[in-house]
Amino acid sequence: MEVTDFMRHIIFMLLLSCFSLVPLLAETAWAAEPGKLSIQPEVLDIGTFYSGGRVTIEGEVPKGQDVVVEISGPAANGEFDLKGRVGPFWMTNGRVEMDGAPAMYALLLPGGSDWQKKASALGLGFEKLKNKIAIQSAALSPDELFNMFLELKKSEGLYVVEDNAVAYAAANNGRRRFTATCRFPRSTAAGNYTIKATAIANGAKSMELASSFLVDEVGFARLVYDLATNQRLTYGILAVVIALFAGAVMGLLFKGGRKH
Amino acid sequence: MPWYIYLPIAQHSVALPVVVGLGFVVGLLSGLFGVGGGFLMTPLLIMIGIPPTVAAASDSNQIVAASASGTYAHYRLGNVDFKMGIYLLIGGVIGGTGGVQIIRILRQMGNADFLIKITYVVMLGFVGSYMFFESLQGLRAHKSRGGAVLENSNPVSSRFIQALPFQTHFDKSGIVLSPIVPLFLGGMVGILAAIMGVGGGFVMVPVMVYLLRMPMHVVVGTSLFQVLFTCIDVTIMQAYSNRTVDFVLALLLLVGSTFGAQIGARLSIRLKEDQLKIFLAVLVLVVMLKMLFSLVLPPHTLLSYHGGH
């Protein structure tokens, strides 16, 4: 009996130690090292029940400085269709090629004074993007096409500028800790993203912290996508077989069929 | 909103209750009116943000599931005219394969979505108007003398069909007909299946009844047989050529539509047929108008992703 009690005591102490260490470990992993960004979660998974995701970025800058965070996604499909009026209908009548346009772009700003103007003056935001993207089309000017591109991306929630998205903690040891939160929309593309935090002092850039971030299709969604892309015929036959099986199961459940 | 599901081919996250509910509503209408819901499913999917090419191809996949048990049931009852079905099927495979290639070429040109929408506008406009006026006539006939029998004779088309070569006897249907007719009809339905993602029953059944004069019980079984195999062909071809079949979407729609169809079939016994038909006709016309407006009103942005998302 004494041995059993001793074992119980040991197990209890071990469990207690483990649970006590969990928050400590989490805190250690979560805290940003000086000069580095800490991103949570480390990878954003697009799985079967993906509905967008929230990503938190933490870091430290010198005391008294402000922070603007930029997130840009992988280069998107460079080809776009341009609609025009053909008779009474709006249909595709031109092609636009864009190189260097990220699939997603988010500019996270602190609260307070007019940060959109300040960021723009520092070369951050959509104006800077326009200069980075090479637009080729005979139909319209690059400025007009860029504005249309912005409208398209904004309508999908993929290009955003967010005020009050950067918060600060109390300064400690001459460092100021910041936290920025970004909502990745449902239409986020998989790929490598770049996250850059720019520290601003007296209206000028003082330092930059950068890190890469992965958005990845995982599990069943990845399996289906890979199969449909790499084994097209197999996928087509499989889709039919699954449909026949599902139809048979439904038929058995309800003892009948219906017309189409 | 909770309960989202990610569609790997559409690359779009949708609310699960919306997709299953949409399948349910279309299934309910299908059960209520005894028509296939394919012609309503694709436009409604487009309205919730599914790319038109994916919506049409996945709907074909869903029809495979929805028509499988019905075809088997009619086969067991001996209601399938296999000779007619094979001719229709050969036409359907040729038409379906051609339709998939049309979509592929138009996708490269950037106008596949336009073709799908404009085809829907024309077909829904035609079907909706026909149903509306037919139901109105039915209501008037009921009011005047409690029902009327419409005589559907078209001597010009009948004479043309009888003049075609290779007249063959179709034992099960009890008719003599040139195989060119079912080959041509199957081809047309195959093209529609590829472009619109429909089974084509809404075209095939009236043609078989009024034009080919086939008995009703054989019409339903043979139409289902042709629809099933045409949609199998279209599903495989769309997956292979265009990578637009999202079977996750198809299965979700199937679950909703199967339950909806069962409830619709039970409700249909209690409700007045002509009034329901007018309601369906109005619904079809509203969907048609919504699609028409999306084609003629200036879009919110003139730029779109090449070849769909």
Predicted pLDDT of residue A69:
95
Residue B148 sits at the chain A interface (C-beta within 8 Å): no
The mean predicted confidence, pLDDT, of chain B is 80
Tens digits of per-residue pLDDT, B96-107? 888 888 888 877
Tens digits of per-residue pLDDT, A89-121? 888 888 888 888 898 999 999 987 788 888 888
Q: How far is A129 from chain B (nearest CA, A)?
A: 18
Specify if B175 maps to a domain.
yes
The identity of residue A145, as a single letter, is L
Residue B114 sits at the chain A interface (C-beta within 8 Å): yes
CATH architecture, domain A28-217 = Sandwich (2.60)
Specify if B156 maps to a domain.
no
CB B191 within 8 A of CB B95: yes
* Range among A11-20, A163-172, A246-255, B245-254 rated most confident: B245-254
Q: What residues does A177 pair with on adjacent strands?
A: A60
- Please name the member of B66, B296, B300 whose beta carbon is closest to the beta carbon of A260: B66
Tens digits of per-residue pLDDT, A188-199? 888 999 999 999
Interface predicted TM-score (ipTM) of this complex, two decimals: 0.76
Residue B142 has pLDDT above 70, yes or no: no
Specify if B3 maps to a domain.
no
Sequence-distant (6+) residues with CB within 8 A of A118 are A200, A203
Instruction: Give me the number of domains chain B comprises.
Output: 1
For residue B172, how many other CB atoms are within 10 A of its CB? 18
Q: How far is B27 from chain A (nearest CA, A)?
A: 9
Q: What is the value of pTM for the model shown?
A: 0.72
Predicted pLDDT of residue A238:
93
Q: In 3-state terms, what secondary structure has residue A157?
A: coil
Closest alpha carbon within chain B to A83? B302
For residue A179, how many other CB atoms are within 10 A of its CB? 18
Closest alpha carbon within chain A to B34? A259
Predicted pLDDT of residue A178:
92
CB under 8 Å, gap of 24 or more: what pairs does B15-21 form?
A: B16/B252, B18/B48, B19/B48, B19/B249, B19/B252, B19/B253, B19/B256, B20/B252, B20/B253, B20/B255, B20/B256, B21/B256
Specify if B236 maps to a domain.
yes
Residue A13 burial (CB < 10 Å; 0-12/13-18/19+)?
exposed
Predicted pLDDT of residue B273:
65
Residue of A234, A208, A240, A40 whose CA lies nearest to A123: A208
Which range of residues forms the domain containing residue B256? 14-144+167-296
Residue B309 has pLDDT above 50, yes or no: no
Domain with CATH 2.60.40.10 in chain A: 28-217
pLDDT category at A21 given cuts 50, 70, 90 is: very low
Specify if B306 maps to a domain.
no
Q: In 3-state terms, what secondary structure has residue A73?
A: coil
Contacts with A144 from chain B: Cβ below 8 Å: none
